[in-house]
């Protein structure tokens, strides 16, 4: 028999302790005036595979920390169902991602404002990024430097990268591409060493940067392993959150606001379960329609990338992790010094490059890794045993849009993910141009002289049609879903306004990547943190008049 407990009251109830939820929990409790409840579907992040940077390979498919979603068969990708990892743990995706810290490009945010998200231009976004970050890097003479005082540690780890990674930069120089000296936002095009959310050999998740300190405050309560089933209204205001811990049903009340931070997949799912969404969809599952709101779940965007693997004559990370003795040596080095290959992410070199398309700005993001590996159909990374490397290209600004829809009225059922990939001619042409950039980098002398053979279809022999077909059959997500509760001026085209309040509803805000008006050019974790920091300022402004 299920037991019920009376509703508890808080000023704010935050749903989701991921990247955005951790920022909000910190900022909304800092002044001491507000009582906050943070609800997380997953459990503790106190796991070695989360804390050690290279542990990303283990959390990638671990259902204990990962929703491990799969898309519906995607016609644009040869009707394949693609594995979509999403964080289900304190820290959310920031606890299981590859730790690359990429703000995006300035025009990404200016485009947000042009699309109706007033006030979300590059000038305001850049200031929020600066407020987020403490940057550990190197000066022009190679001396260690620290700048900024933000909670999030962002590190330039070039001194710890595998030596083979320098080959990628040499190849960029061979063909005249810029090689970046730093992550200064004035340098937007070229290849360089990725900056990462890593400090002293450990991952720095949003939980580490923002939530840890907030947990010491008496006005914050965190509930783990709690599945939110729906929201409901009280006196016309959406203020009640219904959730379950095991067999125990619970209800809490938000005196000021409910803030939905469940991500681009689960935020629209929770709204649908609450009766907020397309009326025909809700009725088909027997859910009473609280508000017929067609835009909820629409507008889904994601990055797709095609990867090519090559065997090389020089040692790479395969040489270390593909042998028992190498793994033992790396483990001992990390245990004693917090350095070595375990202390840095596998994404080591990358950047934005112009492909020759119609955009004036760089339109393809490249990833160059000193390891060759593939992802099985079940989502498990598989490392090659002999030395190899990976070149991957991701069109930056896809125009296709998909949709998230609930599969049933049961909160435990995974939603239906319809990516609708390569639905536009512009996206299909971008996929071809992305492949050509890989081919150009591959044929540079610095890589050409150490490359033995390809482990994937030979891009050097492909026509444009072949490249597109290869993209359809092998490309996969780069784990950047967004836009399903997008920001905009009216409910006809968006879900939230420019202060992230749900249109025409009282007491409900959404703060996560689902609110992006359109996808940013690169990795989406940094922009999500930026959105959350700005949202916290707006929420406190509204509360304090």
**Residues forming the active site:** 480
Cβ atoms of residues 267 and 485 within 8 Å:
yes
Tell me the chain's radius of gyration from C-alpha atoms.
23
Cβ atoms of residues 309 and 374 within 8 Å:
yes
**First and final C-alpha spacing in the chain:** 46
Q: Please, which residues bridge with residue 195 across strands?
A: 156
- DSSP letters, 461-520, are G--HHHHHHHHHHH-EE-S--B-TT-B-SSTTT-SB-TTSBBTT-SSEEE-SGGG-SS--
How far apart (Å, rounded) are the C-alpha atoms in residues 245 and 209? 27
- Nearest to 382, CA basis, from 459, 307, 466: 307
- DSSP letters, 34-78, are --EEEE-SSB----HHHHSGGGHHHHTT-TTTB--EEPPPBGGGT
SS3 96: coil
- Long-range contacts of the stretch 335-342 (C-beta < 8 A, 24+): 338/200, 338/201, 338/202, 339/160, 339/201, 340/160, 341/54, 341/162, 341/317, 342/52, 342/53, 342/54, 342/201
Instruction: Encode 126-161: b = buried (16+ Cβ within 10 Å), e = exposed.
Output: eebbebbbbbbbeeeeeeeeeebebbbbbbbbbebb
How far apart (Å, rounded) are the C-alpha atoms in residues 352 and 364? 6
DSSP-derived secondary structure letter, 194? P
Cβ atoms of residues 290 and 234 within 8 Å:
no
Cβ atoms of residues 219 and 253 within 8 Å:
no
Q: Which residues contact 464 (CB under 8 A, 6 or more apart)?
A: 432
Cβ atoms of residues 15 and 262 within 8 Å:
yes
- Nearest to 326, CA basis, from 383, 381, 380: 383
Name the CA dihedral angle for 38, 225, 206, 300, rounded to a multiple of 10 degrees.
-90
Q: Please, which residues bridge with residue 145 across strands?
A: 137
How far apart (Å, rounded) are the C-alpha atoms in residues 477 and 490? 30
């Amino acid at each position: 028999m299920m037991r019920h407990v009376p509703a508890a009251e808080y000023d704010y109830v935050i749903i989701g302790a991921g990247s955005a939820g951790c920022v909000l929990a910190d900022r909304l409790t800092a002044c001491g005036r507000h009582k906050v409840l943070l609800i997380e579907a997953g459990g503790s992040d106190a796991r070695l595979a989360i804390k050690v940077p290279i542990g990303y390979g283990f959390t990638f498919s671990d259902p204990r920390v990962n929703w491990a979603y799969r898309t519906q068969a995607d016609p644009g990708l040869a009707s394949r169902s693609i594995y979509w990892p999403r964080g289900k743990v304190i820290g959310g995706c920031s606890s299981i991602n590859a730790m690359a810290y990429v703000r995006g490009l300035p025009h990404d945010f200016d485009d947000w404002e042009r699309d109706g998200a007033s006030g979300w231009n590059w000038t305001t976004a850049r200031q929020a990024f600066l407020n987020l970050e403490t940057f550990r890097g190197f000066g022009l003479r190679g001396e260690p430097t620290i700048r900024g005082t933000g909670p999030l540690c962002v590190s330039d780890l070039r001194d710890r990268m595998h030596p083979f990674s320098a080959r990628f930069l040499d190849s960029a120089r061979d063909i005249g591409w810029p090689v970046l000296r730093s992550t200064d936002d004035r340098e937007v095009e070229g290849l360089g060493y990725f900056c990462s959310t890593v400090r002293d050999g450990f991952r720095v998740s949003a939980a580490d940067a923002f939530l840890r300190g907030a947990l010491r405050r008496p006005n914050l309560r965190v509930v783990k392993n709690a599945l939110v089933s729906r929201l409901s209204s009280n006196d016309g205001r959406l203020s009640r959150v219904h959730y379950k811990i095991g067999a125990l049903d619970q209800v809490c009340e938000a005196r000021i606001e409910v803030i939905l931070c469940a991500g681009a997949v689960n935020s629209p799912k929770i709204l649908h379960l609450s009766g907020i969404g397309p009326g025909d969809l809700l009725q088909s599952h027997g859910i009473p329609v609280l508000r017929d709101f067609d835009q909820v779940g629409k507008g889904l965007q994601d990055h797709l990338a095609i990867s090519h693997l090559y065997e090389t004559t020089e040692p790479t990370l395969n040489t270390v992790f593909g042998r028992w003795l190498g793994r033992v040596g790396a483990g001992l080095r990390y245990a004693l010094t917090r350095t070595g290959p375990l202390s840095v992410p596998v994404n080591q070199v990358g950047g934005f490059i112009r492909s020759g398309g119609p955009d004036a700005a760089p339109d393809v993001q490249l990833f160059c890794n000193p390891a060759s590996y593939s992802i099985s159909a079940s989502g498990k990374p598989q490392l090659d045993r002999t030395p190899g490397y990976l070149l991957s290209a991701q069109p930056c600004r896809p125009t296709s849009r998909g949709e998230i829809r609930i599969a049933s009225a049961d909160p435990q059922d995974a939603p239906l993910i319809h990516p609708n990939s390569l639905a536009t001619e512009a996206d299909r042409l971008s996929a071809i141009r992305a492949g050509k950039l890989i081919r150009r980098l591959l044929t540079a002398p610095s890589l050409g002289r150490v490359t033995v053979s390809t482990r994937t279809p030979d891009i050097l022999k492909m026509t444009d049609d072949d490249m597109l077909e290869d993209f359809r059959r092998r490309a996969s997500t780069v784990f950047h879903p967004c836009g399903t509760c997008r920001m905009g001026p009216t409910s006809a085209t968006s879900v939230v306004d420019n202060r992230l309040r749900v249109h025409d509803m009282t007491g409900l805000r959404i703060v996560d990547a689902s609110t992006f008006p359109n996808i940013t050019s690169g990795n989406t974790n940094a922009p999500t943190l930026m959105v959350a920091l700005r949202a916290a300022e707006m929420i406190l402004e509204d509360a304090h008049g």
